[in-house]
Amino acid sequence: MIINPQKAMREILLVICILCTVQIDAQNRQLLNAIKSKNREYRLNELNAASSYADVQTYQSIYKILPKSTSEAKIDILNWISNEAKDSEKKEILREFEVRFEVPGRQVLVKLLEDKDIEVRKATVKSLVHISDSRTISALVNLLLSSDQEMVVFTGQALVYFTGGIEESVAKAIPKAGDIGKIAGIELLATRKAKANNNAIFNETRSLSEKVKTTAYKALKDVVGENDFVRLCGMLEIAEKEVVSPLQEAIITAISSQSADEQTNTIIRRMRQTDEEKKHLYYIPLAKTGTEQAIKIIKEGMNSRNQETRKEAEIVLSSIQ
């Protein structure tokens, strides 16, 4: 009897493929049984084991039963999904797979953002952030508009780690948010150094809420650039006493890309356009440059007729000696 080697190999591969499919099916059934079980240790062990073989079929099976699971099971699954998303290949699968025809996996997770259990909602936010699918940005950012303050704060902190451009969406949400949402959004933009969207923060420096306004002023230093220098100076020269310091910090940051001498000259040019009684507001940014010319100008302030200018010059000079 003559054996065809190629045909024999195809048959062997087919058998192996069938055996693998059977094994995966068995593993998935065991995993689903564990998810439905009240035994949390059993569930966690099976989820951990699943990381070694999970594929699209596994994710489909899990996502199908996820909405109907207990809160505890949902949280365990969502935490597992977050861990899965740390792998770049798995992250891509989680972004693109469909649970069933025209029902993407992300849709299942987004729906869980409405779960009655806040811990489930938090775990869902973490999963969506780890997956970082741009198509879920709107759903996540909308949480900043929620009346649930705990959820707003949690979402703002979690979104710091979203991989991708969320800044524009956050900036658009800030005006519509409550005070807690505004603060969360401002801090988020500041943490992500969102210079291109800094108008949202500048606008909130005029907020009627003292907490929002204070947060906005403190955030300016993290979102300004050289193009904002003149705007900041205009704000500094009419500022209330309590916001002078954050504006000075923002000015220092705005021109930090310049050399020390360039910074000094930039500030001096502005001072020449400023009323005499306001020039002392620039002593701290001047001192930060550390140049001899800057120190000389501050020392000249010691001889000013203006008492406030003399006092500020003394304070600044004593701080750098």
pLDDT, mean of residues 300-316:
88
Q: What is the pLDDT of residue 17?
A: 45
Q: What is the pLDDT of residues 2-15, one digit of tens each?
A: 555 665 555 455 54
Q: How many CA atoms lie within 13 A of 7 on its CB side?
A: 3
Give yes or no for a contact between 144 and 173, defined as CB atoms under 8 angstroms apart.
yes
Rounded CA-CA distance 277/305 in Å is 9
Give yes or no for a contact between 31 and 58, defined as CB atoms under 8 angstroms apart.
yes
Contacts of 38 (CB under 8 A, 6+ apart): none
Q: What is the pLDDT of residues 102-155, one digit of tens each?
A: 899 999 999 999 999 999 999 999 999 999 999 999 999 999 999 999 999 999
Q: What is the pLDDT of residue 5?
A: 62
Tokens found for residue 42: 């059993």
Q: What is the largest CA-CA distance in the chain?
A: 115
Q: What is the pLDDT of residue 19?
A: 39
Model confidence, pTM: 0.87
Rounded CA-CA distance 14/136 in Å is 40
Contacts of 64 (CB under 8 A, 6+ apart): 99, 100
Q: Quick check: 256 pLDDT over 50?
A: yes
Rounded CA-CA distance 169/163 in Å is 14
Give yes or no for a contact between 295 and 320, defined as CB atoms under 8 angstroms apart.
yes
Amino acid at 247: L
- Lowest average pLDDT, out of 16-20, 74-78, 215-219, goes to 16-20
Contacts of 53 (CB under 8 A, 6+ apart): 24, 27
Q: For residue 181, give the nearest of 226, 128, 140 by alpha carbon.
A: 140
pLDDT, mean of residues 53-70:
93
Q: What is the pLDDT of residue 243?
A: 96
**What is the overall mean pLDDT for the chain?**
91
Q: What is the pLDDT of residue 16?
A: 45
Handedness of CA 106, 108, 111, 115 (dihedral sign): negative
pLDDT band at 307; cut points 50, 70, 90: confident
pLDDT band at 304; cut points 50, 70, 90: confident
H/E element holding 68?
Answer: none
CB atoms within 10 A of CB 153: 16
- The label of the residue with tokens 């000075």 reads 248
Q: What is the pLDDT of residue 34?
A: 83
H/E element holding 98?
Answer: strand 98-100
Q: Quick check: 188 pLDDT over 90?
A: yes
Q: What is the pLDDT of residue 280?
A: 94
Rounded CA-CA distance 59/32 in Å is 11
